[in-house]
Each structure stands twice: as structure tokens, then as C-alpha cells.
Amino acid sequence: MTWDVAKIDHLIGTAVSSGVVLFFIYRRFRHTFGRQLLRRGRLKLRLGLFAAAGAVLLAHALFSAAGALAGAAGLGIGAGLAVWAARHTRFQEEDGKLYYVPHTYTGMVVSALFLGRILYRFAARFSAGQSGLAGVAAGGFGSFSSASQNPATLSIFFVLAGYYAGYYYYLLRESGSLKGKKGPLPLETAAANGAGA
């Protein structure tokens, strides 16, 4: 039995890229639900990444009316979800550390949009003869040019960018005023409200 080097390389590439996409999905879900330690440095980095990616993609989107409309609609929906999530976010302090509890249902909606688009792209690539999540990574959110030419992908990306940029900005602003403060809501003590609430 002989092994074709090109097929082995393709299998390894598919496995690695599929693993990266699945890990990204896992990380998104993990940071969307339950109590989270508020790390300002990480929030600033994520806010910067979403803002930079959004600015680059917006520059491509403005070349067509459909792209501009999809981008504006996505940003509007994402910003609205961020405001809704911010109004339902709780803060807790335990052992001098600040935690936040994001709104579960808003996180579910944003995660479902992201996962639904990936699954759709996976099904489209699979039916076209490309295997694994590698095709999704190559043709879904992975390419600015392909995303800017697809209004559905573009609008969902801007929902994500608008939501996360707006929500991270809120967490940074609010945590700056709450850090070290003890008192009534929105700052809760973990002992009074349950550490895993």
C-alpha cells in the first residue's frame, strides 16, 4: 500500500484547520455563558481586534450598495444586542476580583448566528465536494474578499463585530467605575448571590 504525499498533506491540513475552527467555536461559547473573570487587558485586545477587522471589512463593503446595506444592518443589530446585553449584565466581586455575568439569551442568539452561518457554509462546501471545516475556514469568515461579496456573511460578521465591540466597551467602562466599589446593584457580592449565578 502506497501513501500519496499530497493526500496526506490535505488530510493533515483539513484536520488542523478543522481543529482551529472548532477550538474557536468552543472558546466563543465558553466566554458567552456563566460568570467570567473581568480581565481588562484581554477585553481591550478583543475590542481592538473587532474594531480593526470591522474597519477593514467595512472599507471593502462600501464599494457596493448591497454590502453597505448589509454592513449597516449588521452593525445596527449588533449594537442593539450589545445594549440589551449590557442592561442585563450583573457584576460580582469576590476576593478583590471583579466578575461579570453576561445575559444568557443574548449570548445564545449571537452564538447561534455565528454557528448557523458556519454550518451553512460547511453544508455548501460539502455539497460542492470540499471536505471538512477547512473549506469553511477558506470560504466563510476566513477571507475578507469573499465575506465582503456575500451580504449574508457580511451582515452576520457585522452583527458579531457590533455586538462584541459594543459589549466589551461597556464592560471596560462599567468596570472602571465599579472596581473596588462595594455596595448595591449593579455590583453584587458573590457570597450573597451565588458564585455561579
Res 110: pLDDT: 85
Local structure of 91: helix, strand or coil: strand
Q: Is the pLDDT of residue 125 over 50?
A: yes
Ramachandran region of residue 129, left (φ > 0), alpha (ψ -120 to 50) or beta? left
Local structure of 180: helix, strand or coil: coil
CA atoms within 13 A of residue 194's CA, in its CB half-sphere: 4
Distance CA 68, CA 58 (A): 8
CA-to-CA separations, 148 to 135, 138, 182, in angstroms, rounded: 17, 14, 46
CA-to-CA separations, 162 to 49, 135, 182, in angstroms, rounded: 12, 26, 31
Q: What is the mean pLDDT of residues 132-143?
A: 46
pLDDT tens-digit map of 44-61: 998 998 888 888 888 877
- 186, 91 in Cβ contact below 8 A? yes
pTM of the model: 0.69
Return the amino acid letter for 89. Answer: T
Local structure of 99: helix, strand or coil: strand
Cα-Cα end-to-end distance for the chain:
57
The residue among 162 and 22 whose pLDDT is bigger is 162
**Residue 174: enclosing H or E segment and its boundaries?**
helix 151-178
Res 166: pLDDT: 93
11-20, 21-30, 48-57, 188-197: least confident range: 188-197
Q: Which of 106, 114, 119, 100 is nearest to 50 (CA)?
A: 114
Beta bridge partners of 94: 97
8-22, 37-51, 103-117: least confident range: 8-22
Strand order in the sheet with 187-189: 36-37, 97-101, 90-94, 187-189
Confidence of residue 152 (pLDDT cuts 50, 70, 90): confident
Distance CA 68, CA 151 (A): 9
Q: How far is CA 160 from the centre of its chain?
A: 5
